[in-house]
Amino acid sequence: MADKKKALVVVDLQRGVLADDGTWDPDGVVSRVAGLVDQARGADVPVVWVQHNSDELVAGTPVWELADGLEPAGGETVVQKRYGDSFEDTELGEVLTGLGAEHLVVAGAQTDACIRSTIHGALVRGYDVTLVSDCHTTGEVPAEYTGGELISALTKINFTNMYAGWDMSYPGRSGSTQTSAEIAF
């Protein structure tokens, strides 16, 4: 059986998102994602960009812009979203259908919100998903929100990598994790 056609989906790697206190390795994540983008383009694998819009990330403002070093090429789709799941109330599904994509390679931010929602949204919509384990980031949760204990960004990232690799099988599709060095388009 032939491999399913892949697409790289880059979620919310925006200046304002990466500027949050306690964000894990934002420069490293951006650098590794830029390498994945180059690799995907070199293999003629579509790259789809997703940008969050909200009261804090107002379209067209500097905090809404993609991080330095990340720029869509001509012909690459940029999907605007308002909800955590990049599919919810957007054209992402139609874009991916038009590209013939069946297997999504996902990178971006925020691990415990938009990344988690998007990978689950992709699976329930019929896609295989590979979460790039060293290409997503988030911030820490201060102790005031947890009853007294800080939850580090890396703890949330490691937990998400664990369940994305173990617990995301659906009939006819599955989830997995790979590092950026393991990804082959």
What pLDDT score does 1 carry?
41
Which amino acid is it at 69? G
How far apart CA 130 and CA 14 sit, in angstroms, is 21
Dihedral sign of CA atoms 59, 62, 63, 66 in order: positive
CATH class of 6-178: alpha beta
Strands (E), the chain: 6-11, 47-52, 78-81, 103-109, 128-137, 169-170, 173-178
Q: How many whole angstroms separate alpha carbon 64 and alpha carbon 51?
A: 8
Q: What is the pLDDT of residues 77-127, one digit of tens each?
A: 999 999 999 999 999 999 999 999 999 999 999 999 999 999 999 999 999
Yes or no: say if 109 and 11 are a contact pair by the CB < 8 Å rule: yes
DSSP label at 145?
G
Predicted pLDDT at 70: 98
pLDDT value, residue 21: 73
Predicted local confidence at residue 147, as pLDDT: 86
- What are residue 8's phi and psi, to 5 degrees? -90, 125
Ranges of residues in the chain with a pLDDT under 70 are 1-2, 167
Q: Determine the Cα angle at 78 with ends 70 and 126, to 5°.
A: 110
pLDDT at 108: 98
